[in-house]
Amino acid sequence: MNKDAPRVLQRVADAWQTATFGLMQMYQASQVAPSSGFEVFRIDPAAPDDVVKLNFGPIVFYVPERPNRRGPDLFVVAKGWLTLEGPDFKAMPLRTKTFGTEVAYFRQKAGSLEHVYGAHYDMDEEKPGHPVFHAQFGSKEAFGEAVLELFKRDEAIVDRTGVILGTVRTPTAQMDIFAVLAQICADHLMGPSPSPEVKKAFSGLRSSCDFLVGAAHRLAYLHGDHAAGCYRAAHWYEAPAANA
């Protein structure tokens, strides 16, 4: 285990507390469990010494499906890992090496929790045909157990996701856990005309994520003029070498 792992954990946990405080400011009836960043993130002692790997979750967010609802009615469960690269873990910002984030959404209905969305986000720099950052969609029904446990509920879990082709890899942004948190807030806590207070809270939440640089900083094929000024998904695929 890298000797700076506790320092990195502290920095990530602090950023998490700031980010989730922003979520609460945006919609005070929202809830996040566990509440402490030190319960959410755990150092992986088996990681190589040149990186710090933090496992996280399951985390459950309890938010409204739409921001004009009187109370929360949607549970979002997330778990996965975030690996940070060295050699200098004292300098800021920290730098992403790899990540993996799984998410599952459950809509609260009378007597049941309906599983309505499931995906995992990760990256792949090696396999031909894999976009470097991508999502694959599929059922995550089992994640509902985290809702039942952390929120002391006993509803039946009903899978509404249907049959989804799991071999489709949709190019995405880097959807690490902090990016997922920002997405949850943007999707469910900001209406078409958010108040100044909500805008300010969301701005603070976004700023709390600035401690981390995405993995694209070391991927040359994302830095060329053709990619940096375009953002079309075709640039997310590294071209195979001609003599490979």
* Reported confidence tier of residue 161, pLDDT bands at 50, 70, 90: very high
Within a domain: 241: no
Within a domain: 138: yes
Residue type, 179: A
Predicted TM-score (pTM) of the model is 0.94
Within a domain: 242: no
Query: Considering its fold, how many domains does the chain have in total?
Result: 1
How confident is the model at residue 220, as a pLDDT? 85
* Reported confidence tier of residue 239, pLDDT bands at 50, 70, 90: low
Within a domain: 161: yes
How confident is the model at residue 217, as a pLDDT? 87
Please enumerate in sequence order all residues whose Cβ is within 8 A of that of 2, keeping only pairs 6 or more positions apart, or say none: 8, 47, 49, 50, 51, 52, 86, 89
Residue 225 has pLDDT above 90, yes or no: no
DSSP class per residue in 2-17: -TTHHHHHHHHHHHHH
Let me know: does 96 contact 59? Beta carbons within 8 Å: no
Residue 131: which domain range?
5-236
Q: How far apart are CA 12 and CA 8, in angstroms?
A: 6
Strand 51-63 with 41-43, pairing: antiparallel
**Polymer length of the chain:** 244
Let me know: does 229 contact 107? Beta carbons within 8 Å: no
Within a domain: 243: no
Let me know: does 92 contact 114? Beta carbons within 8 Å: no
Percent above pLDDT 70 for the chain? 98
Please enumerate in sequence order all residues whose Cβ is within 8 A of that of 45, keeping only pairs 6 or more positions apart, or say none: 1
What is the pLDDT averaged over residues 132-144?
Answer: 97
Within a domain: 244: no
